[in-house]
Amino acid sequence: MDISAAIAGRRSTREYMQQPLEEETILRLIRAATLAPSAMNRQPWTFTVVQNQDVLDRVSRDAKAHMVATMSADLAAGARAEHVRPMLSDPKFHIFYHAPALILISGNAPGPWITEDCALAAENLMLMAHALGLGTCWIGFAQNYLNTLAGKRELGLPQHWVPVAPLIVGYPKTPPPAVARNEPDIHWVN
């Protein structure tokens, strides 16, 4: 697939077939992620692959509870997050949309740019997935919880790792519709 088509065609996918991913496909996605640039080429990332649906169900339930419990602690953030409260309180809402796999990209070494490095790896992975006919979605709802001790324990992550990009991956049930973009806000300096 041509790069322009990949960039323009990638969509966050929220409806998946139950078809599992082949191991070779997962490895291809991860190899594409590792081709991303990183500060001083330190490549400070680890890829955690979760396909066990019981684990994903548990993380979904606990991440929702964590978000609801911590929302009102910070009033400003709480006000912004208030509109998602009904969704997070709905026992039927699954933050991973029952996708067959989660690939979590975590920073595995201290450094000032691990977030940027992992986010660049994530975009590579999502573009490669699209080129292979797969759908992905970054699940920010999981992030805060996965950064807690309990969240790390749930996935067996060492305490010093920093979960950055929880990406669900799978074969899309239906192609998601395009989402509008604003015109670029450009500040030209002459």
Q: Which is nearer to ligand FMN, 78 or 140 (CB)?
A: 140
Q: What are the two backbone dihedrals, phi and then psi, of residue 186, each rounded to the nearest 5 degrees?
A: -115, 130
Contact pattern from residue 161 through residue 180 relative to ligand FMN, giving x for each residue in contact according to CB under 6 A and a dash for the rest: ------------------x-
Of 6, 9, 14, 42, the residue at the interface with ligand FMN (CB under 6 A) is 14
Scanning 43-51, 61-69, 137-145, 153-161 for contacts with ligand FMN by CB under 6 A, the matching segment is 137-145
Cβ(21)–Cβ(51) under 8 Å? yes
Distance in angstroms (rounded) separating the CA atoms of residues 180 and 159 = 39
Considering only residues 141 through 160, tell me which ones interact with ligand FMN, judged by CB under 6 A.
141
Determine if 48 is a binding residue for ligand FMN (CB under 6 A). Answer: no
Q: Which two tokens stand for residue 115?
A: 């977030």
How far, in Å, are 93, 119, 124, 160 from residue 40 at the CA level? 40, 16, 18, 20
Q: Which is nearer to ligand FMN, 21 or 99 (CB)?
A: 99
Scanning 28-36, 62-70, 103-111, 132-140 for contacts with ligand FMN by CB under 6 A, the matching segment is 132-140
Q: 106 forms bridges with which residues in the sheet?
A: 46, 163
Cβ(167)–Cβ(30) under 8 Å? no
Determine if 137 is a binding residue for ligand FMN (CB under 6 A). Answer: yes
Number of residues that bind ligand FMN (CB under 6 A): 9
Distance in angstroms (rounded) separating the CA atoms of residues 174 and 136 = 13
Of 16, 45, 96, 138, the residue at the interface with ligand FMN (CB under 6 A) is 138
Q: Which is nearer to ligand FMN, 27 or 69 (CB)?
A: 69
Cβ(161)–Cβ(108) under 8 Å? yes
Give the H or E element holding residue 169: strand 162-170
Determine if 102 is a binding residue for ligand FMN (CB under 6 A). Answer: no
Q: Which is nearer to ligand FMN, 8 or 27 (CB)?
A: 8
Distance in angstroms (rounded) separating the CA atoms of residues 124 and 30 = 9
Which residue is associated with the tokens 């790792």? 161
Q: Which residues bind ligand FMN (CB under 6 A)?
A: 11-12, 14, 137-141, 179
